[in-house]
Amino acid sequence: MADLSTIIGSLRLKNPTLLASGIMDEDAGSMQRMIDCGASAIVTKSIGMQPREGYANPTVLELEYGLLNAMGLPNPGIDQFAQEMKKLQKSKTPIIGSIYAADAEEFVALASKMEQYGAAAVELNVSCPHAKRYGLEVGCDATLLQTIVSSVKQQVKIPVFVKLSPSVVNIVEIAQAAEKGNADAIVAINTVKGMKIDLETAHPILANRTGGYSGKAIKPIGVRCVYDIAQNVNIPVIGVGGITTGEDAIEYFMAGASAVQIGSAVYYRGPDVFRHVCKEINVWMDTHGYKKICELVGVAYQ
């Protein structure tokens, strides 16, 4: 049987499947359920300094090949979220705190609190496609991003991951800016900006009009982004986007990812998707003569 363990920065993970931010990660109970279902690490819902209600309904649409959502980053705020983190302090599974902010000062404050509350790492969400001030306005500015990452790294000891959007002119340039700021890993990609229009009313269906598209339809975009980034940075890349099966994960590994995050597939295959994907990875690796995940990473461009 193949060895599915992998290393991201200073984190040693028992398998390469993590829960992506934004699904089943709002409270300790749901996160523990994902741990019990085989996720090697949990990325929390994106948390800000203050409580945020998010957008009005409708916020989520199921489309033919994925999900379109505009939740608006609803969250209880970092101080209230501390209660959920405290409940998971005895967990041996790493909890990665996803945070969003508009500037370096807020990111530093949030990262420091996440570290204090027991997070094993922080993931800087600089790529939300539907939240003004907190998303792409931060993640498309290489200079600003480098400053933010550098500022956070100077204040916390835990690893710092940076989650990028595909909706930028040059994602490699943005990834390199994060690396220059001393990021420990790149997470690629966040959802793709999209829209669905109701033909009868001639209006966008989502209350926010636009939202983020996730699911199998965006996998080729995610694979391409990981492929481009991995060849141009010297830090690990975590692949996200459309991963539903073990073969999907292996494609990301071959593109250069050292691990993958799974989100929408929890909806489509159920919480046990982590266990299923790992089993499928194992079968494929055994069949093709691979012993370790690291043997697969980046083989598509070597």
Query: What is the overall mean pLDDT for the chain?
Result: 95
Residues 290 and 170: their CA atoms lie apart, in Å, by 33
pLDDT computed for residue 128 by the predictor: 73
CA distance 271 to 268: 9
Structure tokens, 6:
């992998």
The DSSP symbol for 216 reads: G
For residue 159, the model assigns a pLDDT of 98
Sites in the chain below the pLDDT cut of 50: none
**For residue 22, what pLDDT is reported?**
93
CA–CA dist 30, 279 (Å, integer):
23
Q: Which of 37, 128, 140, 225 is catalytic?
A: 128
| C-alpha of 140 from chain center | 17
Q: Please, are residues 128 and 158 in contact by the beta-carbon 8 Å criterion?
A: no
| CATH topology (fold) of 6-47+71-192+213-295 | TIM Barrel (3.20.20)
Place of tokens 């193949």: 2
pLDDT at 132: 57
Instruction: Tell me what pLDDT residue 83 has.
Output: 97
**Is 128 among the catalytic positions?**
yes
What integer pLDDT is reported at residue 138 of this predicted model? 72
What pLDDT was estimated at residue 134?
Answer: 59
Question: What pLDDT shows up at residue 284?
Answer: 98
Half-sphere exposure of 269 (CA within 13 A, CB side): 19
Entry pTM: 0.96
Helix (H, G, I), strand (E, B) or coil at 68: strand
Q: Where are the domains of the chain?
A: 6-47+71-192+213-295
